[in-house]
Chain A
Amino acid sequence: MRNWLIALLIVGLISLWGCQPSDKKAEVTTETEANTDETEETQELTEQVKVAVAGPFTGTAAAFGEMIERGAKLKAKQINEAGGINGRKLVLTFGDDAGTDKEAKLVATRFATDKEILAVVGHFNSSCSLAGKDIYKANGIVELSPGSTNVSVCEGSDWTFRNLYRDDFQGTFIARYIKNILTKYKSVAVLFDNDDYGRGLRDAFTAEAKNIDLEVVASVAYDRENTDFSTQLTKIKSKKPGVIFISGLYEQAALIVKQARKLGIRSLFFGADGIDSPDFLKNAGISAEGTYLTTPFTFGAGGEEAAKVATAFEAEFGVPPDTWAALTYDAMGMIAEAIEKTYNKDAALAENRKAIRDHLASLDTPEEGYKGITGLTYFDINGDTVNKPAYVKVVIDGKYTTAPKQMPNMDAFE
């Protein structure tokens, strides 16, 4: 009896354990396969081209990953319904980096050494894009990030691109916005996530704050595993800052604003694109009211084309798209366009991959840029996008609202 129970327990445990890491991936693959069958029957696209999407589909940034996956799927579906890429079906494969550099390396290796994948859209977290960069470079495959904003993401590799601004732009922008537009507030405290994204953004912000005489009264780190921020907040509270700038991601930011309000801190909160997620609003509740944030794109400021995509997105997934879905949608569009223009069925994989890279690198002037829903995308010598503006949103009545005062021109950045 006892032995039997133990055996049962062990079997149970193993099966439970076995389920956990793979269930998300399994789900993603089956969905893609299901899609494949369906479209092949209706469209008879016999030949296919394969593009990979890497992002944090599980882990603490999973809310971003969800939107990235949906943005990519929507674009691929629309392309395939319109006849594919030169009559070839666009097939996606997803890789979960869980938002950690360790997993990102594994995903990058798997994609880079794959015999079919032509290009990679991803990663999202700056640490992940950086971790994958050398692997993609060594294997000669494009990495186009729709979310990494750390300054050094594209540096030193001809194979890494991104379709949004960098943190030095974003950090500078936020410092200036506080100085020029939120003039009521005279001092700032910084609370930063101790990873590439959080530190990079913090550096840009504090450097510019120093330039323009915006007083930074404290700069305090937190670890992403933390759920109790009362110690850090108490340190900041004693400095009585007008604004608290959170240089980190939505999950911690939601806890931070909640706990800050409980501690009686009534400073204004300002975040960056890392807190631009519906989950921030959901988790922070009423404590998020009045929080400002910058974002690379907002549907409120997008054109007609963006509105159409938003409608299609909502019809497909039942929720409105966010910034990251839009940027992924465009990144996927760019890759598809590059494949369309350069793909040669008879050429070797490496040549096709190279041709995609060369095409992206050739988009270096506004005239040649890719026109997507998030605006015009073209690259500088590093593969960075330097022309895209930052938008400011503010939380009003539990919703992101485009802030009444935007700052379209930032003199230092022309």
Chain B
Amino acid sequence: MEQFFQQLINGIVLGGIYALIAVGYTMVYGIIQLINFAHGEIFMLGAYIAFTLVMFFPIPLWVAILVSMLFCAGVGMLMDVVAYKPLRTAPRLSALITAIGVSIGLQNLARMIWGAKPQSFSEDTLPKFFQQINPLVEPTSFLNIFGVSFTENAIQFSEGVSLAYLDLTIIILAIVLMVGLNRLVSLTKIGKAMRACAQNRVAANLMGIKTNRVIAITFAIGSALGAVAGVMVGVRENISPLMGFHKGVAAFAAAVLGGIGNITGAMIGGLLMGLAEVFGAGYIDSFIEFVCNNIGLGQFYEDEKISHSYGSGYRVAISYIVMIIVILIRPTGLFGKSSAHRA
């Protein structure tokens, strides 16, 4: 049971990251029907910018995240102006191929600037409660309420269930930003303009909405959220020029799962994708063992050495299988509507 709760936490954290990235894909698609493949690279740039900032300037991480968000918002808008705006009336395929081109270009730009080797944030640039502690020293618990103890870098719910402050921060950030975005889209004037553009760009333009400005803002918001996810992944895992590709593809799948073009869908899709990946990888081996034992293949299972848990090596594949199943049953995704009612 402890394992279940720990996996649940892992899944929610990963889901939060996917949701933050997926929103960027879905917002752009909602407004200009473009799958912006370069969004994964914005996410990667976000991580690298914050990494470089804290390396060279004595600034705290949260300032670096803010600067990185602003920078990525700028890159997102620039990308729109340079690559997509000239193709606004061109066939959708042209814009799609351009997006792939921008993606490859940014990936290699990062490789030229920062090198191909993956890098990690150095510990002293991180806030104290994100830092690692010496594994040879017993962690000190400075607060203990109802059996839940707070140590230097994690909350211990019980012996087998813990939540690192870093992961907690990711979850909180994801929730706050998602709620904020939701409020922005449904309550503000610019949100209304975005929804109008999503319904019909030409009509919105005729009503006096500056559609190009709305599109630019959409790119900026999506990119800024991607940058936050990038920094968090950079701190939690590592930073490499290919990180945007790996996480980006999964997040794109999450957006499709939720119904591309639908912001709430992307949030839920991201969460589901994270949970599917973690629980799929976590339990598929037990499932296979269970099946083998129950259809009289227990010996075969032992002999063929599948008793080594291979399943977790295929965690990415598992989440795609979930996506394919959903798409087969509901081609519009979980929350997708027919094209007239997007966003």
List which A251-298 residues lie within 8 A (CB) of chain B: 251, 254-255, 257-259, 261-264, 266, 279, 282-283, 285-287, 289-290
Q: Which 5 A-B pairs have the closest CB atoms?
A: A221-B313, A227-B237, A238-B3, A2-B86, A264-B162
B309 and A219 contacting across the interface, CB-CB below 8 Å: yes
A220 and B238 contacting across the interface, CB-CB below 8 Å: no
Would A13 and B86 be within 8 Å (CB), given that A223-B314, A262-B154 are in contact?
no
A263 and B105 contacting across the interface, CB-CB below 8 Å: no
CB distance from A261 to the nearest CB of B (A): 5
Q: Is B132 interfacial (CB-CB < 8 Å)?
A: yes
List chain A residues, Cβ under 8 A from B13: 230
List chain B residues, Cβ under 8 A from A235: 3, 282, 309, 312
B105 and A17 contacting across the interface, CB-CB below 8 Å: yes
Q: Is B189 interfacial (CB-CB < 8 Å)?
A: no
Q: Is B82 interfacial (CB-CB < 8 Å)?
A: yes
Would A227 and B238 be within 8 Å (CB), given that A202-B308, A219-B309, A238-B3 are in contact?
yes
B105 and A290 contacting across the interface, CB-CB below 8 Å: no
A223 and B116 contacting across the interface, CB-CB below 8 Å: no
List which B230-287 residues lie within 8 A (CB) of chain A: 233, 236-238, 243, 246, 277-278, 281-282
Q: Is B337 interfacial (CB-CB < 8 Å)?
A: no
Q: Is B300 interfacial (CB-CB < 8 Å)?
A: no
Supplied contacts A223-B314, A283-B238, 4 more A-B pairs, CB within 8 Å: A230-B278, A232-B312, A261-B132, A266-B135
Q: Is A378 interfacial (CB-CB < 8 Å)?
A: no
Interface SS majority for chain B: helix
B101 and A5 contacting across the interface, CB-CB below 8 Å: no
List which B51-97 residues lie within 8 A (CB) of chain A: 82-83, 86
List which B308-324 residues lie within 8 A (CB) of chain A: 308-316
Which of B112, B135, B162, B281 is A231 in contact with, Cβ under 8 Å?
Answer: B281
Interface residues on A, range: 35 or more
Would A17 and B315 be within 8 Å (CB), given that A221-B308, A234-B3, A263-B6 are in contact?
no
A222 and B313 contacting across the interface, CB-CB below 8 Å: yes
Which of B101, B111, B112 is A13 in contact with, Cβ under 8 Å?
Answer: B101
Which of B83, B122, B160 is A238 in contact with, Cβ under 8 Å?
Answer: B160
Would A13 and B3 be within 8 Å (CB), given that A262-B154, A286-B133 are in contact?
no
Q: Which of A58-66, A127-135, A175-183 contacts B (4 or more CB under 8 A)?
A: A58-66
B135 and A20 contacting across the interface, CB-CB below 8 Å: no
Residue of A nearest to B309 (CB): A220
Residue of A nearest to B123 (CB): A285
Residue of A nearest to B246 (CB): A225
CB distance from A205 to the nearest CB of B (A): 11
Total A-B residue contacts, Cβ distance less than 8 Å: 147
Cα–Cα, bound, A263→B154 (Å): 8
Would A234 and B6 be within 8 Å (CB), given that A228-B14, A285-B132 are in contact?
yes
A231 and B101 contacting across the interface, CB-CB below 8 Å: no
B86 and A219 contacting across the interface, CB-CB below 8 Å: no
Q: Is A237 interfacial (CB-CB < 8 Å)?
A: yes
Residue of A nearest to B283 (CB): A235
CB distance from A313 to the nearest CB of B (A): 21
Residue of B nearest to A20 (CB): B108
Residue of B nearest to A279 (CB): B117
List chain A residues, Cβ under 8 A from B164: 262-263
A10 and B101 contacting across the interface, CB-CB below 8 Å: yes
CB distance from A214 to the nearest CB of B (A): 16
A234 and B7 contacting across the interface, CB-CB below 8 Å: yes
B237 and A255 contacting across the interface, CB-CB below 8 Å: yes
Cα–Cα, bound, A305→B299 (Å): 54
Would A231 and B117 be within 8 Å (CB), given that A219-B309, A221-B312 are in contact?
no
Cα–Cα, bound, A111→B190 (Å): 61
Q: Is B120 interfacial (CB-CB < 8 Å)?
A: yes
A237 and B123 contacting across the interface, CB-CB below 8 Å: no
A218 and B309 contacting across the interface, CB-CB below 8 Å: yes
Among B10, B83, B122, B281, find the residue whose CB has the most chain A CB atoms closer than 10 A. B281
CB distance from A287 to the nearest CB of B (A): 5
| Per-residue interface assignment for chain A, residues 6 to 45, with 1 indicating a CB less than 8 Å from any chain B CB and 0 otherwise | 1001101100110110000000000000000000000000
CB distance from B184 to the nearest CB of A (A): 30
Q: Is A159 interfacial (CB-CB < 8 Å)?
A: no
List chain B residues, Cβ under 8 A from A9: 82-83, 101
List which B99-115 residues lie within 8 A (CB) of chain A: 101-102, 104-105, 108-109, 111-112
Q: Is B153 interfacial (CB-CB < 8 Å)?
A: yes
B282 and A234 contacting across the interface, CB-CB below 8 Å: yes
B120 and A283 contacting across the interface, CB-CB below 8 Å: yes
Q: Is B186 interfacial (CB-CB < 8 Å)?
A: no
List chain A residues, Cβ under 8 A from B278: 230-231
Cα–Cα, bound, A321→B98 (Å): 45
List which B114-146 residues lie within 8 A (CB) of chain A: 116-118, 120, 122-123, 132-136, 139
Residue of A nearest to B279 (CB): A231
Cα–Cα, bound, A237→B159 (Å): 10
A sample of 18 inter-chain contacts (CB < 8 A) reads A2-B86, A17-B108, A192-B308, A194-B310, A218-B309, A220-B312, A221-B308, A222-B313, A225-B316, A231-B281, A234-B6, A251-B118, A259-B236, A262-B154, A262-B166, A263-B164, A286-B135, A287-B135
Would A286 and B315 be within 8 Å (CB), given that A59-B116, A235-B3 are in contact?
no
Q: Is B307 interfacial (CB-CB < 8 Å)?
A: yes
List chain B residues, Cβ under 8 A from A264: 139, 154, 156, 162
List chain B residues, Cβ under 8 A from A228: 14, 236-237
Q: Is B2 interfacial (CB-CB < 8 Å)?
A: yes
Q: Is A226 interfacial (CB-CB < 8 Å)?
A: yes
Cα–Cα, bound, A251→B119 (Å): 10
List which A46-80 residues lie within 8 A (CB) of chain B: 58-60, 62-63
List chain A residues, Cβ under 8 A from B305: 203
CB distance from B46 to the nearest CB of A (A): 16
List chain A residues, Cβ under 8 A from B120: 254, 258, 282-283, 285
List chain B residues, Cβ under 8 A from A290: 135-136
